């Protein structure tokens, strides 16, 4: 047995003092969120953020990211260049001080940078601490200075390596494999991030140079119209229901406020918020202020035009969301972010500043464009009508559940366990497949829900119509957590929900319809990683008494080539119903052997866009999508 530790054993010798950047290397996730792929990209975001702060302060107009390999990247700006004179307290150069000391920099006093994202003063020093190699090159005072670092420590003295008439800073770094298990800079992520920054920083040029192949590639981003350009980019392929985009840009109480919105004929809302060019993915007071201004101004205008006659007819936040696409950005001198990864803005003063800027601007916009106001408000009141009808439909489902003693739908063959962590729900296509799956399953933990035909395309339907669909109503009752904004993941009856459809055109269509339904109305199921797609075999190959199951065309071709002159039989499974229960259990339902594909969403914006293209009303974007990807299609049934 280990020796019992007594209270008296705790003394001064047990206290660790971590010097320099050791705390960062000891607990990297505290500073960058994670040590996975997101953490690797967060290092780059910190450096680009510093360059952006220099640009927003008016000292730079060009920022360039160069990817040399999957593991090495540089960020260059044409700003003033990090100072290199000796720092009074550290007796080292300002450059070395900024790079090797936590909470050092020019962003605390408020004189050099009125607005910045890196107020913690840890950005560049954290990148240095978590890099296998970092080189800083500074152009200022007619000279080029250079210094190298590794794992938070200086490798050599600051050197003058040349002369120049330019100014600026170049930071080249390579993340440390001792910290990050997987190091790979994703070009698409970098490009998307730089595009976003260019939208948020009017008239600043952002460039991406790819030197990972023989042929160097360069992409430039430059936008004159800021958030309006960004909004147009986000709604590409959608149809606006009014002519003009709302935009306001104003300084209120020392806070710079910028906001833009428009309405499309879609149902899903899309909102993004930013503080000092940082994407506040969890919102904050600035987004709350925008929403409040929207609700108050819309109701004020509607009352003025006598569209609201009784107080119960006033528009709510829910009525305003349908088809709304909105962007809100603030620049604030002392942002209070929640956590080092800055996902939420916590400054209460941002709410009143945004509200003061946006509310009167919307009323002025409605005065200037009354036809736009009419189109927008008509859509909101239509959404209100649908919301009230949906509430009645939801209440009816709840009442039915209560009156029948929470009876589950008759189509559902439920499992014995009541523990959601153990329970699995197979959503299968048709009665035939449902019957086979019921015979094949393990009743202890596997439930089967057969759906008849193709469910409603929810991309183009309001919630009241969706709840009138018999198949969707059955699914809602089976899952047990409600639907849409009322969905409660804690009440979900199964933590593995498996879509099992036939490997043909109809099956793929049903799968897409179900994925659209889950994405739009049961999104937490996907975010929690509870949604899966079954991967049944395409072929059954028998050679004598030996039986093999083949899951792809490539696997089939490889096997057939190896058989040569042998006698064999090959059966193509067109549907789950063609397999007998033993085969179905062995290949598709047995946890020991089956293949399940977990449904994940890395980029919500892109997922939204793909569902809009594939399932929306507009034919042109879908046609373009098919033309672009037609050559990559495999296993298309005709």
| Per-residue pLDDT tens digits for 213-262 | 989 999 999 999 999 999 999 998 889 999 999 999 999 999 999 999 99
Q: Which residues are catalytic?
A: 429, 502, 504, 506
Confidence of residue 272 (pLDDT cuts 50, 70, 90): very high
558: which 2 tokens?
A: 């490889």
110: which 2 tokens?
A: 């408020």
398: which 2 tokens?
A: 């709840």
**Contact, 113 vs 106, CB < 8 A?**
yes
CA 157, 161, 167, 168 dihedral sign is: negative
Q: How many percent of the chain have pLDDT more than 70? A: 85
**Residue 421 confidence (pLDDT) above 90:** yes
pTM to 2 decimal places = 0.71
d(CA 190, CA 51): 15
- Residue 286's alpha-carbon distances to 300, 324, 326, in angstroms, are 21, 17, 12
Helix (H, G, I), strand (E, B) or coil at 17: coil
Helix (H, G, I), strand (E, B) or coil at 14: helix
Q: In the block, which residue shows the tokens 């150069």?
A: 93
| pLDDT of res. 309 | 86
| pLDDT of res. 608 | 56
| Per-residue pLDDT tens digits for 463-511 | 778 888 888 888 988 999 888 888 899 999 999 999 998 877 788 888 8
**Residue 74 confidence (pLDDT) above 60:** yes
Q: Report DSSP letters for 527-577, one per residue.
A: HTT-EEEE---SEEEEETTEEEEE-SHHHHHHHHHHHTT---EEEE--SGG
Other CB atoms within 10 Å distance of the CB of residue 311: 8
Q: Where are the beta strands (DSSP E) in 479-543?
A: 496-500, 531-534, 539-543
Higher pLDDT, 482 or 392: 482
**Residue 625 confidence (pLDDT) above 70:** no
Task: State the SS3 of 82-149.
Answer: CCCCECCCCCCEHHHHHHHCCCCCCCCCCCCCCCCCCCCCCHHHHHHHCEEEEEEEEEECCEEEEEEE
**Contact, 80 vs 70, CB < 8 A?**
no
What domains sit in the chain, N to C, each tagged with a CATH number?
Answer: 22-221 (3.30.565.10), 226-387 (3.30.230.10), 408-536+597-632 (3.40.50.670)
Nearest Cα to Cα of residue 302 among 292, 314, 293: 314
Task: Calculate the CA dihedral of residues 313, 316, 321, 326 and round it to 10 degrees.
Answer: 120
In eight-state DSSP terms, residue 240 is B
């Amino acid at each position: 047995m280990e020796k019992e530790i007594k209270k008296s054993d705790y003394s001064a010798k047990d206290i660790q003092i971590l010097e320099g950047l050791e705390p960062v290397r000891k607990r990297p996730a505290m500073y960058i969120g994670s040590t996975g792929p997101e953490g690797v990209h967060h290092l780059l975001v910190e450096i680009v953020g510093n360059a952006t702060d220099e640009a927003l302060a008016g000292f730079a107009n060009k920022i360039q990211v160069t990817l040399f390999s999957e593991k090495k990247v540089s960020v260059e700006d044409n700003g003033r260049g990090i100072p290199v004179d000796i720092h009074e307290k550290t007796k080292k150069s300002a450059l070395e001080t900024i790079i090797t000391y936590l909470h050092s920099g020019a962003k605390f006093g408020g004189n050099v940078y009125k607005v910045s994202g890196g107020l913690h003063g840890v950005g560049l020093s954290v990148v240095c601490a978590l890099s296998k190699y970092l080189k800083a090159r500074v152009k200022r005072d007619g000279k080029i200075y250079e210094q190298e670092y590794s794992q938070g420590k200086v490798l050599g003295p600051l050197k003058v390596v040349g002369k120049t008439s330019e100014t600026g800073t170049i930071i080249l770094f390579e993340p440390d494999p001792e910290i990050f298990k997987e190091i790979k800079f994703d070009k698409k992520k970098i490009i998307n991030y730089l595009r976003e920054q260019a939208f948020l920083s009017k008239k600043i040029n952002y460039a991406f140079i790819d030197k990972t192949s023989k042929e160097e590639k360069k992409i430039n981003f430059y936008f004159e119209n800021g958030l309006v350009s960004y909004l147009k980019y986000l709604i590409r392929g959608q149809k606006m229901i009014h002519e003009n985009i709302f935009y306001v840009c104003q300084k209120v109480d020392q806070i710079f406020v910028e906001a833009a919105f428009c309405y499309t004929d879609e149902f899903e809302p899309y909102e993004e918020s930013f503080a000092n060019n940082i994407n506040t993915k969890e919102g904050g007071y600035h987004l709350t202020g925008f929403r409040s201004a929207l609700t108050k101004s819309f109701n004020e205008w509607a009352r003025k035009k006598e569209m609201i006659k009784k107080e119960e007819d006033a528009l709510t936040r829910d009525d305003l969301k349908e088809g709304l696409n909105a962007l809100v950005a603030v620049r604030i001198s002392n942002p209070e972010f929640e956590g080092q990864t800055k996902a939420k803005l916590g400054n209460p003063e941002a709410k009143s500043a945004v509200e003061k800027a946006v509310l009167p601007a919307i009323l002025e916009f409605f005065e200037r464009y009354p036809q736009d106001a009419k189109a927008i408000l008509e859509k909101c009141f239509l959404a209100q009508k649908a919301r009230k009808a949906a509430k009645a439909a939801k209440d009816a489902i709840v009442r039915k559940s209560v009156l029948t003693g929470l009876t589950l739908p008759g189509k559902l063959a439920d499992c014995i366990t009541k523990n959601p962590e153990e329970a699995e729900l197979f959503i299968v296509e048709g009665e035939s497949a449902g019957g086979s799956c019921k015979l094949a399953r393990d009743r202890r933990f596997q439930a089967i829900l057969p759906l008849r035909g193709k469910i409603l395309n929810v991309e183009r339907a309001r919630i009241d119509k969706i709840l009138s669909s018999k198949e969707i109503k059955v699914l809602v009752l089976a899952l047990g957590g409600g639907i849409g904004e009322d969905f409660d993941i804690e009440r979900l009856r199964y933590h593995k929900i498996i879509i099992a459809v036939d490997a043909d055109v109809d099956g793929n269509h049903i799968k897409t319809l179900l994925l659209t339904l889950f994405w739009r109305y049961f999104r937490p199921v996907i975010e929690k990683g509870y949604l899966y797609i079954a991967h049944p075999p395409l072929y059954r190959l028998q050679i004598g008494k030996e039986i093999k199951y083949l899951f792809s065309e490539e696997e089939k071709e490889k096997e057939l080539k190896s058989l040569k002159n042998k006698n064999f039989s090959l059966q193509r499974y067109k549907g789950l119903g063609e397999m007998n229960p033993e085969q179905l259990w062995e290949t598709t339902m047995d946890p020991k052997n089956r293949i399940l594909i977990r449904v994940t969403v890395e980029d919500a914006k892109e997922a939204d866009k793909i569902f809009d293209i594939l399932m929306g009303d507009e034919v042109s974007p879908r046609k373009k999508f098919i033309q672009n990807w037609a050559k990559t299609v495999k296993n298309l049934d005709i």
